[in-house]
Amino acid sequence: MTEALVGEGRGANGAALVEMTMQQAINRALDTALREDPATLVFGEDVGRLGGVFRVTDGLQAAYGQNRVFDTPLAESGIVGLAVGLAMNGWRPIPELQFDGFAYPAVDQIVNQMARMHYRSRGAASMPITVRLPSFGGIQAPEHHGESLEALFAHVPGLKVVAPSDPNDAYRLLLQSIRSDDPVIYMEPKARYWDRRQVVLDGARAQAADTGGDPIGASRIARPGRHATLVAWGAMVHRCLRVAELAAEDGVDLEVLDLRWLKPIDTDGLAASVSRTRRAVVVHEAPLTAGLGAEVSSLITERVFCDLAAPVQRVTGFDVPYPAGPLEPQYLPTIDRILLAVQRTLEF
């Protein structure tokens, strides 16, 4: 994968700053992991020779050989089951499930096996597995190629779930997930794969281990503001930032909290933000009912009930399957729907 040479520079602490797309950032994180830890393995459908259906694993097989980066037969349950066995034998697997909709055939292995092997074995068998899952909608893909499974996985004891929103986080959070000894579902927002930004590359493991000081589970203020907090993850962070720009034209100052980790959720970060702004709108692509917005809303209410000036609002997909092409923009939370929810909190 070629990277722009322009925009390359050095950050304050000597870390390299390189402008790249999210695809390239994930590729770089995998490259770093494969280089620093000989126990890491990358596998899945079409990840080897083809370099993945989004070119995210491009060049890795050429660089690390067919033993460490390899194509599997087409069987998602088998892919995750293979990862579980490899982990029990001391490896650190990074399997890819090609599309979110194809994670459903693997749910048995993810939920019944991977998530609870550590518990079942009373800690004898760790599962340092990172399941990479291209996720969410926004690219007008065919059926099963755009889904939001975060609530499903966040509900499963033993799993950790993360969804980056930009290239820099994609790089850092993936390395953090891979280095974690617990199973992580790493949800890549397909609609942001082509987003190009500066990424801080920290080659040395010692430097990178603390991932910029944020532990697993830390959220991030993507934009500070005073009047209300928009809580989002994945591709919806970008949409909320656009909403915040529009709101600013009207004199409304919105904070955007990128939750990043969907399990564990950064309750302290949520509480701190909302107790300042006193209003919260949770935005996600997944359907409303039993979606993660309910969990976030509940956590806010439990922690900062007395600070709230209005009930927490949710702007989500509807309780319908992700629709085809022209209907998808009407399914996903629109800018107007988010603005209306903000207005409701302001006028409560």
Partner 1 sequence: MQTHAPPGAGSTPDRTGALPAESARRIYRDMLTARLLDTEAIALQRQGVFPAYVSLRGQEAAQVASAAALDRDRDFAFPTYREMAVALTLGVDMVGYLASHRALWHGGRYDPIASRFGSINAVVGGPVPHAVGWALGERLRGETGCAIAYFGDGASSQGDVHEALNFAGVFGSPVVFFCQNNRWALSVPNERQIAGGSIAARAAGYGMPGITVDGNDAAAVHNATRSALDRARSGGGPTLIEALTYRLAPHSTSDDTTRYRDRGEEHAWQERDPLPRLGTALEEAGHADTAFFEQIEDGARAAVERIRDGIATAPPPAGSDLFTYVYREPTEELARQQRLWREEVEP
Partner 2 sequence: MAEQTFTLPDLGEGLVEATVLEWLAEPGERIERNQPLVELETTKSAVEIPSPHSGVIVRLHAEEGAVVQVGAALVTFETEQAAGIVGTVPREEERPSRRVRLRPPAE
Residues labelled catalytic: 145
Q: What is the CA radius of gyration of the chain?
A: 20
Partner touching 63 among partner 2, partner 1, none, CB below 5 to 8 Å by kind: none
Partner touching 335 among partner 1, partner 2, none, CB below 5 to 8 Å by kind: partner 2
Judging by DSSP bridges, how do beta strands 92-96 and 40-44 pair with one another? Answer: parallel
What angle, 0 to 180 degrees and rounded to 10, lies between the N-to-C axes of helices 22-36 and 167-179?
A: 30
* Strands laid side by side in the 16-21 sheet: 9-10, 16-21, 196-201
> Are 47 and 93 within 8 A, CB to CB?
no
Interface with partner 2 in residues 137-196 (CB under 8 A): 138-142, 145-146, 190-191, 193-194
Q: What is the largest CA-CA distance in the chain?
A: 60
Q: Is 136 in the site for partner 2 (CB under 8 A)?
A: no
- Torsion angle defined by CA atoms of residues 81, 86, 87 and 90, in that order, rounded to the nearest 10 degrees: 170
One residue of 62, 209, 248, 324 binding partner 1 per CB under 8 A: 324
CB of 289 to partner 1, least distance (A): 7
CB of 147 to partner 1, least distance (A): 11
**Residues in contact with partner 2, shown as a per-residue x/- string from 61 to 80 under the rule CB under 8 A:** --------------------
Q: Rounded to whole angstroms, how far apart are CA atoms 44 and 66?
A: 12
> Are 245 and 194 within 8 A, CB to CB?
no
Partner touching 37 among partner 1, partner 2, none, CB below 5 to 8 Å by kind: none
Partner touching 242 among partner 1, partner 2, none, CB below 5 to 8 Å by kind: partner 2
One residue of 18, 265, 331, 342 binding partner 1 per CB under 8 A: 331
For 154, what's the count of Cα atoms within 13 Å in the CB-facing half-sphere?
Answer: 23
Interface with partner 2 in residues 306-345 (CB under 8 A): 335-336, 339-340, 342-343
Q: Rounded to whole angstroms, how far apart are CA atoms 275 and 292?
A: 20
With 0-12 / 13-18 / 19 or more C-beta atoms within 10 angstroms meaning exposed / middle / buried, residue 37 is middle
Q: Rounded to whole angstroms, how far apart are CA atoms 308 and 276?
A: 9
Q: Is 102 in the site for partner 2 (CB under 8 A)?
A: no
CB of 213 to partner 1, least distance (A): 40
Chain residues that interact with partner 1, rule: CB under 8 A: 45-46, 48-51, 53, 71, 73-75, 77-78, 101-102, 104-105, 140, 142-145, 288-289, 318-321, 323-327, 330-331, 334, 336-337, 340
Chain residues that interact with partner 2, rule: CB under 8 A: 2, 5, 53-55, 99, 134, 138-142, 145-146, 190-191, 193-194, 227, 242, 246-247, 250-252, 335-336, 339-340, 342-343, 346-347
